[in-house]
A and B are shown apart, each in its own frame.
Chain A
Amino acid sequence: MLVGLLCISCQPDTVCHETRKVAMHCHFREYYRVPSNVQLNVRTEWDSITVQGIGSDSVLYNNTKQVSYIALPLKDSIDTCAYVLTYHQKKDTLTAIYTNQQKFLSIECGCVYNHKIMQINHTRNWIDTVLIVNDAVMLDIDKNIVLQRTNPDNE
């Protein structure tokens, strides 16, 4: 009877309680001018954004409104990944070059791939500059890069 009770009470928890999605978190900063103010204001939300990975048929963000950041998953098997970002009908390509490293979480949650950003390349149709704020792409890191745009005419 004692052994039976032990069998019931001592099995370890096999449910994963952690989030397991690792993605490059990309924030937005747009400098714009309003007529009544000489100084530039800062906008940190996209009013709409569309994101699709190059080589993928599915759209990651489809004309998504009022987002303060986008999470871009990186490929685990290779060290380069590119996305097309469409903002106000202008398209830019963002290419990340990075390294991959396996990270074990637990038996229940499995493992994830962490990345270290080496370089970000981009076209300049609407993105002016890309700042790498934190090159470590892993769980619990919520800001990796910032896309900056100067829009004095507030188009």
Chain B
Amino acid sequence: MLLLLTLTANATKHMPDTVYHHNRMYIDGLRIYSDSAIYQGLNLKIDMFMPVLEVARSKGKLQAYEVALNLRLKQRYYPTIELGYAFGQTNVSDTYWKGQGGFVKLGLDVNGLRKHVEALDALLVGIRVGGAYEKYDLTGVRVAGSYWQPASSCDFTNQYSFNCWGEVVAGCQVHVCSGLMMGWYFRLKVLFTRNLKGEEVAPYYIPGFGYRDNTNWGFNYYIGWKF
């Protein structure tokens, strides 16, 4: 559906207005850089899908937000930084989890479409390295009963955790009009920090990565602006 929406947006483009000002070319108010220029603009993108995805996955217990910034270099390469924040609280197996944290991802996308200075659309394949820092509480964690005592529970409060992971991403971005962009990403994620240090209490959820597991996946649908 999102793919169709993106394609529809692409199909409904109007005829652009081309203006020259101080020897610079502008189409629909957007500066078009020379073919040889390394820097070819900046895109700011806000993820519209991740908040929906996380609310759906957690049945309303988790919220996550993400923005992305990428540069367009030589019409081909898109160095990218993505920033986000997630928080939530939920009951899992009688344990109450409450946490919040931020994440950052750095990476590079490569445009697979034919290079052209006026072509702002891109079919992207790339990689990311992500890191998240979070604070969380786990209360009511079960302690199994034994020969000496019945089952009980214990609490782990004010826990902090840093996690790192890698992603392979594939997606697209389409220029709709006047700098308005749309696009999506599909992501496969692999957690690097699988082994816990010492007495560390594993987080239930990792901002930007998802539920703690060796691998995970994600989907983003962006609306953005080109500068």
Using CB atoms and an 8 Å cutoff, list the residues of chain A in contact with chain B. Answer: 2-4, 6-7, 10-12, 14, 16, 20-21, 53, 56, 58, 60, 73-77, 81, 101-104, 106-113
Contacts and interface: CB of A to CB of B under 8 A. Distances in A.
A12 B210 CA distance: 10
Interface residues of B, number: 30
A110 B141 contact: yes
Interface stretch (B37-45, B51-59, B185-193): B51-59
Contacts of A3: 52-53, 56
A106 B199 CA distance: 12
A110 B212 CA distance: 16
A75 B143 CA distance: 12
A107 B95 contact: yes
B148 A53 contact: yes
Nearest 5 pairs of A and B residues by beta carbon: A110-B142, A104-B201, A12-B211, A3-B56, A73-B147
Interface in B42-96: 52-53, 56-57, 59, 92-93, 95
Contacts of B146: 21, 73, 76
Nearest to A108: B93
Contacts of A75: 148-149
Contacts, number: 80
A104 B147 contact: no
Contacts of A108: 92-93
Contact of A7 (B56, B202, B211, B213): B56
Contacts of B149: 75-77
Given A73-B148, A75-B148, 10 more contacts: A3-B52, A3-B56, A7-B56, A104-B138, A104-B201, A107-B97, A107-B138, A109-B142, A110-B95, A110-B153
Contacts of B201: 104
B156 interface: yes
Nearest to A51: B147
Contacts of A113: 143
A22 B214 CA distance: 26
Contact of A10 (B57, B138, B154): B57
A111 B213 contact: no
B11 interface: no
26 contacts: A6-B57, A7-B56, A7-B57, A10-B211, A11-B57, A12-B211, A12-B213, A14-B92, A56-B147, A56-B148, A58-B147, A60-B147, A75-B148, A76-B146, A76-B148, A81-B148, A101-B199, A104-B199, A106-B202, A107-B93, A110-B93, A110-B95, A110-B142, A110-B153, A111-B154, A112-B143
B15 interface: no
